[in-house]
Each structure stands twice: as C-alpha cells, then as structure tokens.
Amino acid sequence: MNTGTYFSGSFAMVMLLLSGCASDSDIAPISYQQQSAKPVVTYALSLQGAPYHYGSDNPQDGFDCSGFVYHVYQQQGINLPRTTEDMANQLTPVEKNALHSGDLVFFDTNGKTFSHVGLYINGDHFIHAPSARTGKVLVSSLKNNYWQQHFVGVRRP
C-alpha cells in the first residue's frame, strides 16, 4: 500500500467533511426573530444556535444543511427527501420572485449545482446549517454577496 496515496486520500476526505455545506467565510449570522410566522418557520427559528454536524439530522447531535431542513419539516408531519440534491430534484420548482415563507432555497457552494439548502423565512432571510466553520444553525440574508453569487433556485415542499 502506498502510504502517500492513503494519506492524501484521507486528507481530502477530512477536508470534505470539515467543509460542510457552505464554504465561504462571508456568512455572517443575523440576529432574527419573527412574530406570527408559519409553524415550520417558527420551529426552524427555535433551533438557531444548534450545532453543525455533517450527516446529522437531529438537535441533540446537530445538523448539516439538508438534515436541518429534513428535521424541521418532519416535525411538522411533512416527509422530505434527506439529501439536498434529492430535495431539489423531487420538490416543485418556484420562481425566486414568488418566494413564500417555508420555501427551500438552494445554492451551489462547492461546484455541485445543489450542494446547500436553507429554509426561507421572509424579507430576504433564510435559516440554515451552513458549515463546520460557522458551527451552528443561523439566519443569513439572500442579499449577502456570497449567497447571491451561489443561489441556484427555490423549491416548495
């Protein structure tokens, strides 16, 4: 076995896991509270600050981006696909100018068309579990340059 190949492959896997769903440091959290929101949004907002954990979909262990969306909708009795790509492929596409609270917003954060997902709140804000770097579920703005540049679409559960 060539240990150099093993090491570089292991290193690449670790870097992939640590990169999570989003990969830019320009993802500043926004303090956000909403009155009289849809139950799905109210529940999602209650999870602000929950830890990021790649591959997880529960508040005890933490969430990755699709695990967060999956969990939030599951708590409302709505079963979604578990992965970002499956959500994007199986849910109904919606035009960005027709966004409603509770819609899913998708981004290309790593060269893969549907590599990150968040839940739209309103007023150009969405809640998501961006990455190990940010470390937690947070609210971001769709007006942020990073998210504008990486936005790829909307789906409605």
* Candidate list 53, 116, 125, 150, residue with the active-site label: 116
**Is residue 150 among the annotated active site residues?**
no
* Candidate list 21, 65, 71, 150, residue with the active-site label: 65
**Which amino acid is residue 18, in one-letter code?**
L
**Is residue 116 among the annotated active site residues?**
yes
**Is residue 65 among the annotated active site residues?**
yes
* Candidate list 53, 71, 125, 128, residue with the active-site label: 128
φ, ψ of residue 100 in degrees (nearest 5) = -125, 155
Task: Kindly list the catalytic residues.
Answer: 65, 116, 128
